[in-house]
Structure 1
Amino acid sequence: MSPLVIEGCIGGPGRTVAIKDSLDVAGWPTRCGSRAFEHAPPAQDHATVVEALLDDGWQIIGKTVLHELAFGVTGINEWAGTPVNPQAPDRIPGGSSSGSAVIVAQGNVDVALGTDTGGSVRMPAACCGVLGLKPSFGRLSRHGVYPASSSLDVVGPMARDLETIVAAMTSMDSTFSAHKPLGKFRVGLVNVSCDPAIEQAIRDEMNRRGWAWEVVTLPLLDQAFEAALTVINAETWAAYGHYTGQALLGADIEARLLRAANTDAVAVQAADAVRMAFSEQVDHLLERFDTLVLPSLPRLPPLLVDVCKGESVIDLTRFLRPFNLSGHPALSVPIPYPGSSIKTSLQLIGAKGDDARLCAIAGAFL
């Protein structure tokens, strides 16, 4: 299945970009990967970030499929289509920005935009072996992005190289200024439980580049993951709950939304308390370190056949989703997985607002 849902070109002959189909592109409908929006009229205006890319000479070649309503991590979508993971066709492409990661990994576009509410840029980027940046919360405009209201969601670029990530960010954000390559910096390696091969792969890559690090802990990481789930459930139900019970949604999304309906104000209030505490915990570590490092995914992307049989995937975003809650910039970087042609991924976390510096640190890693 092609990751493109609409073909066509807008803009000049410059670098090419594909747009996740939860962002408005004037003249094209925004369907969010859902039958609920099958008959949506063409958007009247470009999303702000889309307009910025066009103004800077980028050429839009199409819109990309996604996990329905951007409310899932596998990228499987029976209605809109499930794009094939180029580096591992038998494994999930990751979601929710599945098509954006796939078309980048295919080499058919310079950059693709996704959205990241709970890992939805970094997750598919990690699955497909490309770079994916979740900017600091609020850094890029969400005008023209679905759902209209979110306290966690950000627009972010995916590309095969860091230079293109930086170019896209520079076009979308006039305050983003590329840093010169950095020399030595302080690295905090977050102690987490994951596939031992992934842990070793990260250490090997840092050793290969002469990085020195100190092992650190984030005691609230698991609580932040759960709190982010609570916030996402509450806000997604508020945005899309009225589409349930009408045979408009895939079975998985219908079930998830109905479960999300049970999220009450007390749970959201508790999640907000975790948000503040976890954010302060990360801020505190980033006073001592220039970046924090941890895996993007705790294991390799699961096989499609196993997911379709019911294998749980909730754990896949446990290192991603917490940083949506905290609002820090995070970058997924592909690295080799031992004994396999499949790439795994590490994640770099930076101080809020220091997105460009985080990219410069990643430049020393690549």
Structure 2
Amino acid sequence: MSPFVPGTDIRIEGRPGGPLSGLRFAAKDLFDIAGHPTGGGNPDWARQNPLPTRHAWAVQTLLDAGATLIGKTITDEVSLGILGENAFDGTPLNPAAPGHVPGGSSSGSASAVAQGFSELALGTDTGGSVRVPASFCGLYGIRPTHGRLNLTGMLPQAPSSDTTGWFARDAATFARVSEVLLQEKAAEAPPTRLVIAVDAFGFAEPETAAALEPMLDRLKALIPDWREEVLAPPGLVAWGRAQRTLQPVEAWETFRPWIERDNPRFAFSVARGLVLGAATPEAERGWAALTRQEVRGRLRHLLPPGTVLAMPTTPFPAPRAGLPLSALNPIRDQILSLCAVGGLAGHPQISLPGASVAGRPVGLSLIAARGGDTLLLRAALEMEKA
């Protein structure tokens, strides 16, 4: 299926002579494009909210750098999803694993790049919405340091975790785009220390952990000073539970005025998530907030400047599309247990392609200290050459 929002036809030329001239990009349907509705994957959001009069910051920045916008891409409904299936707009094709989900919520953006419609695409990442589709579609994807990018014109979900992210098929393009959006060149030298999160590799399915071993070996050759550590002493599942507590609570707070004003339509799983967020007890919210502080302290300890941490991006490759709701909950919980570190800690994280299980891609993630985004760019460039 096409990665683009049905019924849209958008093309905006980039500024001639910019550093990204000649490249095409697509934008997730959470980013404002002047004169076009921001749908957010929900037909009532587009109908019940005004047309944007300005481009989102990320869209304008890429246009100013010379990239040409070619369309808006499908997203999980109001970005509340991790697999890439949308009850209204459909499920974009995962060309790396036909018949399997592309990952969400930046599903269409990943699909557009993976299918070759564009060289790059904008997504958003709250609980894993760039990292997961990057892993499932075999792409480079980044969740930058939380708070580093201007999010003006990007539809929020859970502001304490939301950030803009992006995809590319190769490291050179990925670095070019990243330097424009981060407004900083890739670090001149690769990381000097490597931490391998043994509990994260243990949490992944054995076939996935084994598939990532050759990439780990290349990484160790690039960074000889390496050691193994437990990422989450309380358990990755506890970290996942904290993110699954905080994120729906914030999502309810974000969308509550719209819901109470307009009573919009939602798919069952999305409505259920919002209801659960509204009903979360204060004690549970307090526990999750304390866990977030614990996660941030742990990452500060593990990641001094110059250090990167390696872990699987997802615990398995893309599941089959169209699974029943009863089968989806444990799949989502497993994925979010690995991805929770991003939203809780706010550290930059990239997913690198290069491994597969039964022909379906799986990504290797690298995490750096807050503000260490360009160190990850250098690591990506060096890994592609290794």
The residue type paired with residue 211 of structure 2 is A
Aligned ranges for residues 291-302 of structure 1 at < 5 Å? 291-302=308-319
Equivalent of residue 209 in structure 2, options 184, 199, 213: 199
CA displacement 1:250-295 (0-9 Å, x = unmatched): 1211122112211233322322211111111111111287110010
Deviating more after overlay: 135-144 vs 194-203: 194-203
Query: Deviation of residue 179 (structure 1)?
Result: 2.1
Structure 2: state its 5+ residue gaps: none
Number of positions where the alignment pairs a residue of Structure 1 with one of Structure 2: 363
> CA offsets per residue over residues 137-159 of structure 1, 9 Å max, x none?
01111111112760111001111
The aligned counterpart of 2:45 is 37
- Asked if the contact 1:87–1:128 (Cα under 8 Å) also holds between the matched residues in 2, the reply is yes
| 316-325 or 302-311, larger mean C-alpha shift | 302-311
Counterpart pick for 2:274 among 246, 257, 275: 257
The yes-or-no answer on 1:23 pairing with 2:31 is yes
The equivalent residue for 1:342 is: 360
Give the equivalent residue in structure 2 for 1:11: 13
2:97 is the counterpart of 1:97: no
1:36 and 1:243 in contact (8 A); partners too = no
8 Å CA contact 1:190–1:216 kept in 2: the answer is yes
Cα RMSD after superposing both structures? 2.0
Opposite residue 273 of structure 2, the aligned amino acid is R
Give runs of aligned pairs for residues 1-366 of structure 1, distance below 5 A: 1-5=1-5, 6-12=8-14, 14=21, 15-39=23-47, 40-147=49-156, 150-174=159-183, 176-182=184-190, 185-192=192-199, 193-208=203-218, 210-211=221-222, 212=224, 213-218=226-231, 219-220=233-234, 221-241=236-256, 242-243=258-259, 246=263, 248-287=265-304, 290-307=307-324, 310-312=327-329, 313-314=331-332, 315-338=334-357, 340-366=358-384
Deviations 1:24-60 (A, max 9, x none): 1111110100022242442111111111111111111
Deviates more, 1:85-94 or 1:258-267: 258-267
Identity of aligned residues (%): 33
Q: Is the 8 A contact 2:194 2:307 kept in 1?
A: yes
C-alpha distance 177-239 of structure 1, shift in aligned 2 (>3 A): same
CA contact (8 A) 2:93 2:111 kept: yes
Q: CA deviation at 1:247?
A: 5.6
Whichever residue aligns with residue 9 of structure 1, its letter is R
Assess if the C-alpha contact under 8 Å between 2:45 and 2:264 holds in 1. Answer: no
Q: Which deviations, in whole Å up to 9, do the C-alpha atoms of 1:37-87 show, x marking residues without a partner?
A: 242442111111111111111111111000001001111112122101111
Q: Select between 355-364 and 302-311 the one with higher mean Cα deviation.
A: 302-311
- TM-score, normalised via structure 1 length: 0.93
Q: Aligned with 2:314: secondary structure?
A: coil
CA–CA distance in 2 between the matches of 1:216 and 1:280?
15
- Equivalent-residue separation in structure 2 for 1:247 and 1:327 (angstroms): 31
Q: Deviations over 1:296-344 (max 9, x none)?
A: 1111221114355633322112211222110100001112225x32221
32-41 or 348-357, larger mean C-alpha shift: 32-41
Determine which structure has the larger helix proportion and give its number.
2
Q: Aligned partner of 2:89: which letter?
A: A
Task: Check conservation: 2:305, 2:369, Cα contact below 8 A.
Answer: no
